[in-house]
Structure 1
Amino acid sequence: MTTSAVVGRTGPRARAAAFLHRHARVRLTLLLSAPLAWLGLAYLGALAALLVTAFWSTDTFTGDLVRTFTWANFHDLVTGEVYRTIALRSLGVAVAVTLIDLVVAFPMAFAMAKLASPRAQRWLVILVLTPLWASYLVKAYAWRVMLSSEGLLGWGYGLGATIATLSYLWLPYMILPIYAGLERLPNSLLDAAGDLGARGWRTFRTVVWPLSFPAVVAGSIFTFSLSLGDYITVKIVGGKSQLIGNVVYDNIGAANNLPFAAAVATVPVVIMLVYLAAVRRTGALENL
């Protein structure tokens, strides 16, 4: 019996199945259509709405939105020294958190991937994931207790407390990508470097670091972006410090200035786009 006879007897469903079997790109398009539609509506649509709102203004008397195009919000954002200081402070906090997490995470990930036994690796991964099971607020308030003047550390509140708390909160997001990258690193390369006379630092500099750099970039994207937009931690342990997220939150709530809040919210988006463009030029994203 020919294929056409079978298709003719089994109806439209079989013809559709045969068509999809012959056209792999159509199958892929249908498979990705739902998630891509969700991405376009929920994420890209929200970003578009944010950008549009940033060019509106608020009536100072009634508090109503004025849907008229204006550059006033961005002009105030660029010319206001306070906002420039807050943006630079937020950028500095994000960089500091990323570097601290990198310094702490890399040796931990290396020990997990190359020194621990397979059984111990599984337990270590669980231990790294365990803090993620607890509520963000529980962990942040736990650090507030420790950092208070009567607490275990007694550092007090401020920018240093914010950096320490954020470094703890986002550390697993740095450990896991580096661990995954180092686990893929063949042990034979390390053995070959040792056989050729390379000591520990040279092996790290010429073998381990270049091959694990894409994983480091992946981890830094998480820690950098999460720190850049965070506003809850600085509210809890930051004292009088302000970051970009706090400016956005305050203008949405107390100030009731949604357009200016949208304009401020574009700052971390632009910073992240610049960062991604920079790491893309290194080729790290292509090797993830």
Structure 2
Amino acid sequence: MEASLKARTPRPANGPLHRLSNLLYRKPNLYLALLLIPPLLWFGAVYFGSLLTLLWQGFYTFDDYSMTVTPQLTLDNLAALFLPANYDIILRTLSMAIAVSLASALLAFPIAYYMARYTSGKTKAFFYIAVMLPMWASYIVKTYAWTLLLAKGGVAQWFVDQLGLAPVLHFILSIPGVGGSTLSTSHLGRFLVFLYIWLPFMILPIQAALERLPPSLLQASADLGARPWQTFVQVILPLSIPGIAAGSIFTFSLTLGDFIVPQLIGPPGFFIGSMVYVQQGAVGNMPMAAAFTLVPIVLIAIYLSIVKRLGAFDAL
């Protein structure tokens, strides 16, 4: 009987856990700090710490004779970025990232609009799966598959021949800076692979932005006598810009730093990602690789400042 009474006797309310609970209840900022400090320390030490260490090595000196890195600080690596050969690599990568982002937006918008306005239930689930299904496959496997699709005698060439577009393709491939002997050895083929791989990252943000579009705005536009194309230009398109800008963050940044597609598809020519890979892995010139790493960081920071004004962060 005494044992059962002791078991039912409540514990004193002034225990250490109770005092800690009261302290955290009275000071919610302290509670929030205790929750955030561990992941922030990990994020700051592992991510920013390693990144800053890498960028700091961009000021080190690389001895071409001994193939060694010395901690002697210099600005020669940053100055080398503006040499004609390296500057051409930066422009080539930047132009490809912009082209892929624009083309992704043009292709993604009709799909996203149909998903947002005309599908529901199982149909919408089917479209979600269809859009995300390519993302379930290995990135490298998809790239190697495209080398076969774009090769001479591949599926893409067969479709071109069946549709009678061989003269058009031959003309496109003959354009300087675009063409090559085949699709797999041209910048056009490289562009198609980038477009295929990153397109889902553009469709989903646009679809989310269009789905949040109030139907009452479209009804009000129709009631005021606006034609369908006027409603699209003056109502739908402006309100979908944050979603387009949000999707372009992914397509732009992922294209800017990619190094696998430029190595497997298209004509010989370095991109920023492949240049970092070669300098660090094949040559061992870590300072020059670190200097090239600074380029996409600066370009993405500038790009983020631009799309932030378009409401991209609100659509993520």
Q: Which runs of 4+ in 1 moved over 6 A?
A: none
In the TM superposition, 1:78-227 aligns within 5 A as: 78=82, 80-154=83-157, 155-227=183-255
* Amino acid of the structure 1 residue aligned with 2:17: R
Q: Give the TM-score normalised by structure 1.
A: 0.93
Could you say what secondary structure the match of 2:307 adopts? helix
**Which has the larger Rg?**
2
Between 23-32 and 266-275, the greater mean CA deviation after superposition = 23-32
Matches of 1:269 and 1:139 in 2, distance apart? Answer: 27
In the TM superposition, 1:34-45 aligns within 5 A as: 34-45=38-49
Q: What corresponds to 1:245 in structure 2?
A: 273
Counterpart contact for 1:251–1:260, Cα < 8 Å: yes
* Amino acid of the structure 2 residue aligned with 1:217: A
* Amino acid of the structure 2 residue aligned with 1:143: W
Uncovered stretches (5+) of structure 1, i.e. residues with no partner: 1-5
Deviations 1:71-110 (A, max 9, x none): 01011112x1011111011000001111111011111011
Deviation at 1:10, TM superposition (A): 4.3
Uncovered stretches (5+) of structure 2, i.e. residues with no partner: 1-9, 158-182
Matches of 1:175 and 1:40 in 2, distance apart? Answer: 32
Q: Give the TM-score normalised by structure 2.
A: 0.85
In the TM superposition, 1:209-288 aligns within 5 A as: 209-286=237-314, 288=316
Counterpart contact for 1:113–1:182, Cα < 8 Å: yes
RMSD, aligned α-carbons: 1.7
In the alignment, which of 33, 37, 42 is matched to residue 33 of structure 1? 37
In the alignment, which of 46, 53, 60 is matched to residue 50 of structure 2? 46
In the TM superposition, 1:2-41 aligns within 5 A as: 9-41=13-45
Counterpart contact for 2:89–2:271, Cα < 8 Å: yes
Matches of 1:102 and 1:283 in 2, distance apart? Answer: 16
* Amino acid of the structure 1 residue aligned with 2:130: L
Counterpart contact for 1:7–1:14, Cα < 8 Å: no
Deviation at 1:193, TM superposition (A): 1.2
Between 137-146 and 28-37, the greater mean CA deviation after superposition = 28-37
Deviation at 1:142, TM superposition (A): 1.1
